[in-house]
């Protein structure tokens, strides 16, 4: 465990933004995390996982702590359920592939989401009709102020749409060390009603898909729409899909009859942010080295050499344009790091 100085974070964030960490350390064990918290002279810490859900806009004069905790273990098996604990530094997509190899179901729709296990609860990651909260049991966290380790349950985490306790009153309070999920062993509940998945399965003449078939369909869809961060810097979906109340939706739908929507259980309606951006004429729009991806308008990209501020200015331009056309403000899903 060694503190380095003036380390480029270009390879540690999926946008590929080249900023410098004044101090940098990588930790691979919970006890090392505790030692870092006890260090004197570094009052401000910046926790770094997979670097997939953030936009760095300037050099960091803090101690950047790279959470590289690894390990996947089966905690308990029931008649149909299995409880899996994965450490925070495990890559999320690699974990979904591991689960599929064991024929464990529940997260196949979340395949190919960038990032690590430790950041998944913060965002309550979701895709194609499934969210992390659907399989979440608990997570082990360390209190940044005291070093105390405790377990937080699903109810403790207050999950919402791309939201959680960790983005509200507990922001910057905890370090997530591991996550426990409940998956199925045989009676898999497959989510295939999302249009793109249904179409992909029909195209392959699959009427009774396995969880592996569903995962392959999701991966195929995402690869067609989303650029590989290793080739084009991006952080996946940049904006949340806006949620409208029934009254707001009725007014919106009268004016925009072609707009797709999803009715939610709470009586509200979700409008795809990607559709709003594309309908605003911004799909494929570029300014300098920053742009809106040509295949998926929800993704902002770094074509090479863009700064974090270039990307943020692009995001603000998208917000302004969508407000002008639809009267809806898009909220970033990505964390903007000042």
Position 233 scores a pLDDT of: 96
Burial of 230 (C-beta count, 10 Å sphere; 0-12/13-18/19+): exposed
Residues 268 and 307 in one domain: yes
pLDDT at 265 over 90: no
Query: Which of the listed residues 25, 43, 67 is the one where a domain comes to its end?
Result: 67
Locate the DSSP E strands across 185-325.
233-237, 243-244, 262-263, 269-270, 286-287, 290-292, 299-302
Q: Are 283 and 276 in contact (CB under 8 A)?
A: no
Position 76 scores a pLDDT of: 87
* Largest Cα–Cα separation, the chain: 62
Helix (H) or strand (E) holding 8: strand 4-8
Q: Are 161 and 189 in contact (CB under 8 A)?
A: no
Show the CA angle centred on residue 212, arms to residues 207 and 216, nearest 5°.
Answer: 85
Query: Which of the listed residues 205, 225, 245 is the one where a domain comes to its end?
Result: 225
Residues 157 and 20 in one domain: no
Mean pLDDT check: name the lowest of 131-135, 168-172, 240-244.
Answer: 168-172
- DSSP secondary structure letters along 296-314: -TTEEEE-SS--HHHHHHH
d(CA 137, CA 290): 39
Position 295 scores a pLDDT of: 93
Q: How many CB atoms lie within 10 A of CB 112?
A: 19
Report the CATH number at residue 12: 3.30.43.10
Q: What mean pLDDT comes out for the span 172-177? A: 96
Position 254 scores a pLDDT of: 96
Q: What mean pLDDT comes out for the span 189-210? A: 92
Residues 93 and 143 in one domain: yes
Instruction: State which residues form the domain around 243.
Output: 233-336
Q: What mean pLDDT comes out for the span 19-45? A: 94
pLDDT at 324 over 80: yes
Q: Are 21 and 7 in contact (CB under 8 A)?
A: yes
Q: Are 96 and 215 in contact (CB under 8 A)?
A: yes
Residues 23 and 144 in one domain: no
Residues 123 and 47 in one domain: no
Q: How confident is the model at residue 319 (pLDDT cuts 50, 70, 90)?
A: very high
Helix (H) or strand (E) holding 251: helix 246-255
Position 59 scores a pLDDT of: 97
Total number of domains constituting the chain? 3
Residue positions annotated with a catalytic role: 162, 237, 333
Residues 49 and 87 in one domain: no
Report the CATH number at residue 146: 3.30.465.10
Residues 240 and 218 in one domain: no
Share of the chain above pLDDT 90, in %: 91
Position 208 scores a pLDDT of: 93
d(CA 108, CA 306): 33
Average pLDDT score over the chain: 95
Position 44 scores a pLDDT of: 87
- DSSP secondary structure letters along 197-217: HHHHHHHTT-SS--HHHHHHH
Position 78 scores a pLDDT of: 86
Dihedral angle computed from the Cα positions of residues 213, 219, 222 and 225, in that order, rounded to the nearest 10 degrees: -90
Show the CA angle centred on residue 61, arms to residues 69 and 37, nearest 5°.
Answer: 40
Residues 174 and 78 in one domain: yes
Residues 104 and 41 in one domain: no
Position 147 scores a pLDDT of: 94
pLDDT at 203 over 90: yes
Q: Are 322 and 330 in contact (CB under 8 A)?
A: yes
Position 1 scores a pLDDT of: 75
pLDDT at 195 over 80: no
List pLDDT tens digits, range 286-307.
Answer: 999 999 999 999 999 999 999 9
Q: How confident is the model at residue 338 (pLDDT cuts 50, 70, 90)?
A: confident
* Nearest CA among 90, 75, 91 for reference residue 151: 75
Q: What mean pLDDT comes out for the span 268-285? A: 97
Residues 219 and 76 in one domain: yes
Residues 50 and 141 in one domain: no
Residues 100 and 217 in one domain: yes
Report the CATH number at residue 246: 3.90.78.10
Q: Are 142 and 37 in contact (CB under 8 A)?
A: yes
Query: Number of H helices and number of E strands within the chain?
Result: 9, 20
Query: Which of the listed residues 207, 225, 243 is the one where a domain comes to its end?
Result: 225
């Amino acid at each position: 465990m060694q503190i380095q100085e003036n380390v480029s974070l270009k390879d540690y964030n999926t946008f590929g933004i080249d900023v410098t960490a004044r101090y940098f350390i990588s930790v691979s064990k919970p006890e090392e995390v505790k030692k870092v918290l006890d260090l004197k002279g570094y009052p401000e810490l910046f926790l770094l996982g997979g670097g997939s859900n953030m936009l760095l806009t300037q050099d960091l004069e803090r101690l950047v702590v790279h959470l590289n905790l690894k390990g996947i273990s089966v905690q308990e098996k029931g008649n149909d359920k299995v409880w899996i604990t994965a450490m925070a530094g495990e890559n999320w997509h690699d974990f979904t592939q591991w689960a599929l190899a064991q024929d464990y179901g529940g997260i196949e729709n979340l395949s190919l989401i960038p990032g690590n296990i430790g950041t998944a609860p913060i965002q309550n990651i979701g895709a194609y009709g499934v969210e992390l909260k659907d399989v979440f049991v608990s997570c082990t966290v360390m209190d940044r102020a005291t070093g105390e380790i405790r377990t937080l349950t699903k109810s403790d985490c207050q999950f919402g749409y791309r939201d959680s306790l960790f983005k509200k009153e507990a922001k910057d309070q905890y370090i997530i060390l591991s996550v426990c999920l409940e998956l199925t062993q045989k009676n898999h509940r497959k989510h295939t009603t999302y249009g793109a998945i249904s179409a992909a399965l029909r195209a392959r003449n699959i009427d009774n898909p396995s969880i592996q078939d569903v995962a392959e369909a999701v991966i195929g869809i995402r690869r067609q729409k989303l650029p590989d961060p290793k080739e084009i810097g991006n952080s996946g979906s940049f904006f949340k899909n806006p949620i409208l109340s029934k009254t707001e939706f009725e007014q919106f739908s009268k004016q925009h009859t072609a707009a797709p929507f999803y009715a939610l259980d709470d009586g509200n309606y979700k409008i795809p942010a990607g559709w709003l951006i594309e309908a605003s004429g911004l799909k494929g729009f570029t300014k300098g080295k920053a742009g809106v991806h040509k295949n998926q308008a929800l993704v902002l990209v770094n074509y090479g050499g863009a700064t974090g501020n270039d990307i943020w200015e692009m995001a603000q331009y998208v917000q302004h344009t969508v407000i002008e056309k639809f009267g809806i403000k898009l909220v970033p899903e990505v964390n903007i790091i000042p």
